[in-house]
Amino acid sequence: MDQTRKEIERLLEKYGADQFASGWTASEAVLAFRMEGRHIKFNLPLPDGKREGADNAAKEARRRWRALLLVVKAKLEAVATGVSVFDDEFMAHIVMPDGSTIGEAMRPQIRQMYLDGKMPPLLAFRPS
């Protein structure tokens, strides 16, 4: 896990990140960095060691960190080769001023649009 986290940090530095942070609780790890003027945050759910057993949970946690490495690496490579642009690749993980990500803010709205079949108005009317 620690080795993969360090590999992610080196990868981000190689592609131009100028800040990096990571941390964890019993249930989740957080990877955050700044690149192209954007703050990016990935939340990585961690397995429950009590439910899965310590050895199995450790193996599963390492697998999840490796999966995160692959996701970040693929996104960075897509941007570097011109297949995509940074904001498109990382949009769901861009941190907004209130600390939430765009994905966290948009998921409920997207879910509701599919439930009721209604798009939000293009220009929201706000009476003065």
Residue 125 has pLDDT above 70, yes or no: no
Backbone phi, psi, residue 15, to 5°? -90, 5
The pLDDT tens digits of the residues spanning 95-114 come to 999 999 999 999 998 898 99
- What whole-number distance in Å separates Cα of residue 39 and Cα of residue 20? 10
Work out the burial of residue 54: count CB atoms within 10 Å of its CB; fewer than 13 is exposed, 13-18 middle, 19 or more buried. exposed
The pLDDT tens digits of the residues spanning 24-68 come to 998 999 999 999 999 999 999 999 877 777 788 899 999 999 999
Q: Which residue has the tokens 């960075």?
A: 76
Does the global pTM surpass 0.75? yes
Buried b (16+ CB within 10 A) or exposed e, 105-127: eeeeeeeeeeeeeeeeeeeeeee
Residue 84 has pLDDT above 70, yes or no: yes
